[in-house]
Amino acid sequence: MNDDAGRTGAAANYFAALQALLAEVAATQSEAIDSAARAAAACVADGGMVHVFGSGHSQLVAIEPMVRAGGLGAVAAVVDPALSSVRPRRAALTERLPGYGAATMELADLRRGEVLFVVSNSGINPVPVDAALAARERGVHVVGVTSLAHSGAASPRHPSGRRLFEVADTVIDTRVPPGDTAITVSGAATGAVSTILGCAVLHAVTARTVELLAERGVEVPLLRSQNLDGAEESNARALAPYRTRLGPQTA
């Protein structure tokens, strides 16, 4: 192995592992992605909102599609600072509290016929499970974005003994390995992938949703990069029907 290969070996292995996982998702999750997109397209066509929720590092995935270049104006993130990975100890404790996820959904502007993506890599903690159950009780279609491999390798912490994939209407398997690491370096597991794969899944769903809306002849509230000429006016039009439901960060 030459010097360059020695310096980049682990990085190259990580990219190879990530590419393989993305290929797995593409090969195995097309039906689930299409199902989620059809629910989202029907919701948007009817004037509704698509919501995304996650805790810990999954909150990063939940925030990603909101007011995003190439994304839909009809997407809102359900964000709770107590579940942010910026304060990991607090988030870890909070996401294990039974009932907290249901209370969070009570504060969210979820309406019957809308769609909620619940993102949780492990899917074992009470918060994502309670969030999914509470949303379904309100007539919301729940899409679970989770790793079935990780879920199967860990014990559920919800009082019912159920995991996210067991309570969602539609489940998209991110194919993330147990432990959320893709490679081993000097005997140590490293190379987190859940955030990247979760974001990729949501962007794939968005792309398919845009396609379905266009096929139905529905005007697509698509956003452009605000750093392109003319984008501010275009985005203002796309966001106008939803602005009161997006939260103060978009006011």
State both tokens at 66. Answer: 């909101």
State both tokens at 172. Answer: 């998209």
pLDDT one-digit tens code per residue, 42-59: 999 999 999 999 999 999
* Whole-Å CA distances, 222 to 38, 210, 246: 17, 8, 15
Rg (the chain; Cα; Å): 19
- For residue 3, the model assigns a pLDDT of 40
- Determine the angle formed by the axes of helices 194-215 and 3-28, rounding to 10 degrees: 40
Residues composing the chain: 251
CATH number at residue 49: 3.40.50.10490
Question: What b/e sequence results for 140-175 when a residue is b if at least 16 CB atoms lie within 10 Å of its CB, and e otherwise?
Answer: bbbbbbbbbbbbeebebbbeeebbbbbbbbbbbbbb
CA angle (170 as vertex; 43, 81 as ends), nearest 5: 75
- For residue 248, the model assigns a pLDDT of 52
Outline where 46-193 has alpha helix (H): 58-63, 88-94, 100-107, 126-137, 148-153
Q: What is the mean pLDDT of each run of 10 residues along the chain (251 residues)?
A: 56 97 98 98 97 95 96 96 89 94 95 98 97 98 98 97 98 98 96 98 98 96 95 95 76 35
Sign, CA dihedral 142-146-151-154, equals negative
Contact 229, 144 (CB under 8 A): no
If one counts the domains in the chain, the total is: 1
Domain containing residue 212: 3-250
Whole-angstrom distance, CA of residue 144 vs CA of residue 121 = 10
- The model's pTM is 0.94
- For residue 7, the model assigns a pLDDT of 56
Contact 242, 73 (CB under 8 A): yes
DSSP assignments along 12-54, one per residue: HHHHHHHHHHHHHHHHH-HHHHHHHHHHHHHHHHTT--EEEEE
